[in-house]
Chains A and B, each alone.
Chain A
Amino acid sequence: MDLQHLDTPPSDAERAAVDALLGPPGSAWEGGERTGADLRRADGGQAARGRRDLLLPALHAVNDRIGWISEGALGYICRRLTVPPADAYGVASFYSMFALHERPKRVLHVCTDIACAAKGSGPICRTLEERLGAPGHGADPSPNGSPDNGPRPDGHSGSEVAWVESPCLGMCERAPAALAIEAGDPPGYAVSAPADPDVLCAPPKARPAGADAAPAPSSNGHRPEAHPTTFSPEALAPMPAEPSAEAAVPQAGDPGLLLLGRIGAVDPTDLDSYRAAGGYTALRRAIALGPSGVIREVTDSGLVGRGGAAFPTGRKWAGTAQRPEAPRYLVCNADESEPGTFKDRVLMEGDPFSVIEAMTVAGFAIGAARGYLYIRGEYPLALSRLENAITRARARGLLGEDILGSGFSFDIEIRRGAGAYICGEETAIFNSIEGLRGEPRSKPPFPVERGLFDRPTAANNVETLVNVLPIVQMGGPAYARIGTGSSTGPKLFCVSGTVARPGVYEVPFGATLRDLLGLANAGAESPPEPRAVLLGGAAGGFLRGDELDVPLTFEGAREAGTTLGSGVVLVLDDTVDLPAVLVRIAAFFRDESCGQCVPCRVGTVRQEEALARLSGGTGDGADIALLRDVGAAMRDASICGLGQTAWNAVESAIDRLGVFADVPQRRTLPLTTAAPSTTKEAP
């Protein structure tokens, strides 16, 4: 391609970061030193353009090591991958974890989402603002981009650390949470949850560059095992190490657990420990059953997707497997970003080998040779655990060529998101992996026909895949006997908010909300009285405190006019400012809209504005009519599920909880020509 590239050269560190991922450049055509031989060759065509999917990893490589992506770095990436600079800029600016101007190496992501706000993220943000200055990526938007933070009263220069307000970090059981990420070689991270401003604001200690990245070769010349992980395993000083995943599973140790049973019982970094606890027996059984046998068991089990859409997994796999096109792909959707959801993180941190084994079984069933595991960028520990698990599985021949002597070959590539909720949408995830902006595609065609790289693809949530292991082991019909007739199996619920023991709970479908909260409040003297429960996350809906007898099944939730979504059960008590929660939900959708279609791009803005008026005391009945109008159009005319559900929680809060029931019909300002509501009436 005849592309015009940027003139600014990369710095040595930027070049090294990119080369560490892509290898040294082959010729001046892709950014190397110019030699006479380059005049007699031209690299191009499909070979040069075909590596576009490495754009996101390359942007990560620079952002991880330098902390931001300069013109020189972006230009070098573009030359290496034959990507037009304007295109790559569009991709880099799509993700919130990338910065395109200089910023401090350490960035604190402070969760201000619903669960953390209810547990006091507000005061933490105020403390950070006093000590570190206003939130932001530490650079002013002036062309030179130099951070304009003067010295702080407490002696900080203010330029060592930047802090930003973050959407849900998936650590709701330890709310309020904060995640620190520090660029370097390797990059470091630490979690402070419950967040401690003193620890967060402490000046970063210099880490010796590359110190823990490449251990010295031992005396026999054999290179000891380098860290197989992207992030340094040491938590950033002075922050504490993360608690083990077991701490998020109050039921840990219960022998009846099918999905969470190994968490706390096995060493998540050790393959032998996993195998001793029954690991990889499902894969052996799957190979004995054969691909169609596995699909039959999964179909018989009645398993449906656990990511929120509840599509039958067996049908998805059968549809993918019977397509004539090759290759076929498996995508494991670990971009868990629904506010209040953290089950997949706990699974990946506590039992990473089960995710890898389940992906292998799925790949075997649909006849895929490659699986992509797309994990959200805010999960460094889960990423490390999975990277380690894949390395170890590969070393034992459980990934790669001819797995377990079956003739089946399969490998897994991890792709890390960079701060975009929308990339959890099943087609946006394909675009993100392919190195495009994470915008959803329009359907049809559906992923089973044309998915990743336009090939038949099965995209499954982490929890869905992990369910496949017990299905293969016990057989589909036996699994189907768990739960209710049309919602089979066990389900993970992410319980957070005002409960005694927040965490991930495994219960069979059919338990009521009251049963679940009973588990979460077990042992509490006087369980807190819930005022409202957010079921299903920001895209779900609210239930009143007196509606706890709703059965937690797909059909039960539907009958109650709500959804289980991704399994969020966020309990709010009387102390919570519900209108502020709604404004936060609206701000979330505004921030996370990809911007492709008008109903969602502008509708989420108008929704937030109307809710800001209503919660600020200047709104009236016309604003509620406006919300209904905008909400109906978002639900009906948006391209993807984000826009279609962006009004769900707000609607249920108005209709079910009676939030804003006392606003005046009309304030002095004549505002609207609002049409009568087209949405359903309050129950």
Chain B
Amino acid sequence: MTAAPETPAPSPAGPVPLAAPRRLVGVTVDGEEIRVPEGSTLLDACETKGIDVPTLCYGDTLTPRNACRVCVVEVEGARTLAPACSRKAEEGMSVLTDSERVRHSRKLVLELLGSSVDLSTTPGVPEWNERYDAAPDRFGPRAEPAPLGERDARHAGEHAPVDGAAAATVEQPAKDDNDLYVRDYGKCIMCYKCVDACGEQWQNTFAIGIAGRGFDARVSTEFDVGLPDSACVYCGNCIEVCPTGALSFTTEFDMRQEGTWDEERQTQTTTVCTYCGVGCNVTLHVQDGQIVKTSSPHDNPVTHGNLCIKGRFGYQHVQNAPGKDRVRGGGETME
């Protein structure tokens, strides 16, 4: 492994060590030349210029996987399009963000995802569909959802014969095997963010991985065991990074099922977790006087949006009024 450059140890009384000033590189974005710090991505460059680039698998706290390809841009001279989220800006690069090729690929990515995944809870999709004139229903009627467990049993490198009468989807019933959160993989776009957050990028728990191959690739525990039998520690950091609502608090999932989830009526209050001395920030999402879920600010310099099970799910004591509990599965209500 390459050795990281050594950071000078801060002397107690000396100046606060700042990173060496970064060189600027000049890139042309949509015909206009801008200068961005060396190491910036094309997405950073677009943001500098105020150009809105759609992103799905990009996570502000994670290493880009550039899997969804909705952020592709045209780099002049390159044979194929480049993912803005991960391609670094280079001196003299000329980038088009709204060329015909870019619009076509973004439109198709939205159509392909929309036709195979339930994007009903993915923010941004309706506007992007309109912007790129995407029609996800053009591939024909959607195939019936698979029964639970069927997709997990599929063997790599083979699939059932196809007649083209219906468009295959990844839809299946939600996996609801614990009290804290639900995995609704019919909404999963395979962005890899939950796997990265669970694994070596943040939590180092490795409860989930990508299993299978091709269209049957899925997020899975080993042998598809339920979460209580897996290595999961219920930190909920996967929920924090999920861009589509495939992973959600049980409270949110149930309220959406009941039709009572209403973000218009919710307030968000960021406070400090009371459990230990680290002092993580917790954002409480409150609807009708009840905490319905928690999140954590991604720009927190210490935790970057990560929490533990206590900060994430341990809020019941705040609202433990009799008769108001949301304990499921016949759980006891504390008096």
- A interface residue numbers (CB < 8 A to B): 1-4, 6, 71, 74, 84-90, 93-96, 98-101, 136-137, 141, 164-165, 167, 325, 419-420, 437, 442, 444, 454, 583, 587, 590-599, 601-606, 608-613, 616, 618-619, 626, 629-630, 632-633, 635-639, 644, 671-675, 678
Top 4 A-B pairs ranked by shortest CB distance?
Answer: A96-B157, A595-B217, A141-B153, A84-B206
**10 A–B pairs (Cβ distance < 8 Å), ordered by A:** A1-B204, A94-B212, A141-B149, A444-B88, A590-B215, A594-B217, A602-B113, A612-B163, A626-B138, A671-B138
CB-defined interface of B59-85 with A at 8 Å, one 1/0 digit per residue? 000000111111010000000110100
Asked if B204 and A671 make an inter-chain contact with CB atoms under 8 angstroms apart, the answer reads no
A254 to B252, CA, bound (A): 74
Asked if B215 and A601 make an inter-chain contact with CB atoms under 8 angstroms apart, the answer reads yes
Shortest CB-to-CB span from B229 to chain A, Å, is 9
Asked if A675 and B104 make an inter-chain contact with CB atoms under 8 angstroms apart, the answer reads yes
Asked if B108 and A633 make an inter-chain contact with CB atoms under 8 angstroms apart, the answer reads yes
8 Å CB contact of B104 from A610, A636, A673: A636
Shortest CB-to-CB span from B221 to chain A, Å, is 5
Asked if B155 and A96 make an inter-chain contact with CB atoms under 8 angstroms apart, the answer reads yes
Question: Which residue of A has the minimal Cβ distance to B156?
Answer: A96
Asked if A590 and B214 make an inter-chain contact with CB atoms under 8 angstroms apart, the answer reads yes
Shortest CB-to-CB span from B75 to chain A, Å, is 12
Asked if A673 and B190 make an inter-chain contact with CB atoms under 8 angstroms apart, the answer reads no
A619 to B162, CA, bound (A): 14
8 Å CB contact of B72 from A137, A610, A636: A636
Question: Which residue of B has the minimal Cβ distance to A678?
Answer: B104
With A597-B67, A618-B164 as given contacts, are A602 and B206 in contact (CB-CB < 8 Å)? Answer: no
With A638-B69, A674-B138 as given contacts, are A601 and B206 in contact (CB-CB < 8 Å)? Answer: no
Does B32 belong to the interface (CB within 8 Å)?
no
8 Å CB contact of B105 from A4, A87, A604, A636: A636
A164 to B159, CA, bound (A): 11
Asked if B109 and A420 make an inter-chain contact with CB atoms under 8 angstroms apart, the answer reads no
8 Å CB contact of B213 from A6, A88, A593: A593
Q: Which residues of B contact A597 (CB under 8 A)?
A: 66-69
Asked if A637 and B81 make an inter-chain contact with CB atoms under 8 angstroms apart, the answer reads yes
With A595-B190, A613-B164, A626-B138 as given contacts, are A601 and B214 in contact (CB-CB < 8 Å)? Answer: yes
Asked if B138 and A593 make an inter-chain contact with CB atoms under 8 angstroms apart, the answer reads no
Asked if B112 and A93 make an inter-chain contact with CB atoms under 8 angstroms apart, the answer reads no
A591 to B139, CA, bound (A): 20
With A89-B211, A94-B212 as given contacts, are A419 and B138 in contact (CB-CB < 8 Å)? Answer: no
Asked if B222 and A88 make an inter-chain contact with CB atoms under 8 angstroms apart, the answer reads yes
Q: Which residues of A contact B292 (CB under 8 A)?
A: none
8 Å CB contact of A592 from B81, B88, B204, B214: B214
Does B238 belong to the interface (CB within 8 Å)?
no
Does B180 belong to the interface (CB within 8 Å)?
no
Asked if A419 and B66 make an inter-chain contact with CB atoms under 8 angstroms apart, the answer reads no
Asked if B206 and A595 make an inter-chain contact with CB atoms under 8 angstroms apart, the answer reads no
Asked if B231 and A594 make an inter-chain contact with CB atoms under 8 angstroms apart, the answer reads no
CB-defined interface of B100-115 with A at 8 Å, one 1/0 digit per residue? 1100110111001101
8 Å CB contact of A602 from B157, B159, B215: B215
A583 to B161, CA, bound (A): 10
A165 to B161, CA, bound (A): 12
Interface residues of B in 132-167 (CB under 8 A from A): 133, 135, 138-140, 149-150, 153, 155-159, 162-165, 167
A637 to B54, CA, bound (A): 14
Q: Which residues of A contact B211 (CB under 8 A)?
A: 89-90, 93-94
A227 to B2, CA, bound (A): 40
Shortest CB-to-CB span from A376 to chain B, Å, is 13
Shortest CB-to-CB span from A513 to chain B, Å, is 26
Question: Which applies to chain B's interface (DSSP): helix, strand, loop or mixed?
Answer: loop
Q: Which residues of A contact B41 (CB under 8 A)?
A: none
Does B209 belong to the interface (CB within 8 Å)?
yes
Q: Which residues of B contact A629 (CB under 8 A)?
A: 104, 108
Q: Which residues of B contact A3 (CB under 8 A)?
A: 206, 231
CB-defined interface of B217-233 with A at 8 Å, one 1/0 digit per residue? 10011110000001100
Shortest CB-to-CB span from B40 to chain A, Å, is 15
8 Å CB contact of A616 from B83, B157, B163, B215: B163
Q: Which residues of B contact A637 (CB under 8 A)?
A: 69, 72, 80-81, 105, 108-109
Asked if B223 and A71 make an inter-chain contact with CB atoms under 8 angstroms apart, the answer reads yes
Asked if A87 and B206 make an inter-chain contact with CB atoms under 8 angstroms apart, the answer reads yes
Q: Which residues of B contact A99 (CB under 8 A)?
A: 155
- B interface residue numbers (CB < 8 A to A): 1-2, 65-70, 72, 80-81, 83, 86, 88, 100-101, 104-105, 107-109, 112-113, 115-116, 133, 135, 138-140, 149-150, 153, 155-159, 162-165, 167-168, 189-190, 199, 204, 206-217, 220-223, 230-231
Q: Which residues of A contact B101 (CB under 8 A)?
A: 636, 678
A185 to B139, CA, bound (A): 49
Asked if B204 and A598 make an inter-chain contact with CB atoms under 8 angstroms apart, the answer reads no
Q: Which residues of A contact B150 (CB under 8 A)?
A: 141
Q: Which residues of A contact B157 (CB under 8 A)?
A: 95-96, 167, 419-420, 591-592
Asked if B212 and A93 make an inter-chain contact with CB atoms under 8 angstroms apart, the answer reads yes
Q: Which residues of A contact B80 (CB under 8 A)?
A: 635-638, 644
A136 to B160, CA, bound (A): 11
Q: Which residues of B contact A454 (CB under 8 A)?
A: 1-2
Q: Which residues of B contact A325 (CB under 8 A)?
A: 2
Asked if B69 and A89 make an inter-chain contact with CB atoms under 8 angstroms apart, the answer reads no
A613 to B138, CA, bound (A): 14
Asked if A599 and B108 make an inter-chain contact with CB atoms under 8 angstroms apart, the answer reads yes
A444 to B66, CA, bound (A): 13
Shortest CB-to-CB span from B157 to chain A, Å, is 3
Asked if B231 and A164 make an inter-chain contact with CB atoms under 8 angstroms apart, the answer reads no
Asked if B220 and A90 make an inter-chain contact with CB atoms under 8 angstroms apart, the answer reads yes
Question: Which residue of A has the minimal Cβ distance to B141?
Answer: A669
Asked if B155 and A591 make an inter-chain contact with CB atoms under 8 angstroms apart, the answer reads no
Asked if A598 and B220 make an inter-chain contact with CB atoms under 8 angstroms apart, the answer reads no
Question: Which residue of A has the minimal Cβ distance to B155?
Answer: A137
With A86-B231, A603-B108 as given contacts, are A598 and B113 in contact (CB-CB < 8 Å)? Answer: yes
8 Å CB contact of A420 from B162, B208, B213: B213
Question: Which residue of B has the minimal Cβ distance to A439?
Answer: B210
With A598-B189, A605-B116, A608-B162 as given contacts, are A86 and B209 in contact (CB-CB < 8 Å)? Answer: yes
Question: Which residue of A has the minimal Cβ distance to B208?
Answer: A86
With A442-B66, A593-B215, A635-B80 as given contacts, are A609 and B162 in contact (CB-CB < 8 Å)? Answer: yes
With A597-B67, A616-B163, A636-B101 as given contacts, are A84 and B214 in contact (CB-CB < 8 Å)? Answer: no
Question: Which residue of A has the minimal Cβ distance to B163?
Answer: A612
Q: Which residues of A contact B100 (CB under 8 A)?
A: 678
Shortest CB-to-CB span from A451 to chain B, Å, is 13
Shortest CB-to-CB span from A77 to chain B, Å, is 11
Asked if A90 and B109 make an inter-chain contact with CB atoms under 8 angstroms apart, the answer reads no
Q: Which residues of A contact B209 (CB under 8 A)?
A: 84, 86-87, 89-90
A234 to B253, CA, bound (A): 59
Shortest CB-to-CB span from A4 to chain B, Å, is 4
Shortest CB-to-CB span from A635 to chain B, Å, is 7
Shortest CB-to-CB span from A646 to chain B, Å, is 11
A137 to B155, CA, bound (A): 8
8 Å CB contact of A606 from B67, B68, B115, B133: B115
Q: 8 additional contacts, CB 8 Å, given A164-B158, A626-B139? A: A86-B209, A95-B157, A419-B156, A592-B157, A592-B214, A595-B214, A595-B215, A597-B66
A594 to B159, CA, bound (A): 14
Asked if A605 and B215 make an inter-chain contact with CB atoms under 8 angstroms apart, the answer reads yes
Q: Which residues of A contact B214 (CB under 8 A)?
A: 590-595, 601, 604
8 Å CB contact of A599 from B1, B112, B216: B112
Asked if B163 and A598 make an inter-chain contact with CB atoms under 8 angstroms apart, the answer reads no
Asked if A598 and B215 make an inter-chain contact with CB atoms under 8 angstroms apart, the answer reads no
Asked if A89 and B223 make an inter-chain contact with CB atoms under 8 angstroms apart, the answer reads yes
Q: Which residues of A contact B69 (CB under 8 A)?
A: 597-599, 637-639
Asked if A420 and B156 make an inter-chain contact with CB atoms under 8 angstroms apart, the answer reads yes
Q: Which residues of A contact B199 (CB under 8 A)?
A: 84, 87
8 Å CB contact of A598 from B67, B88, B164, B210: B67
Shortest CB-to-CB span from A62 to chain B, Å, is 15
Most A-side CB within 10 Å, residue of B105, B156, B210, B217 = B156
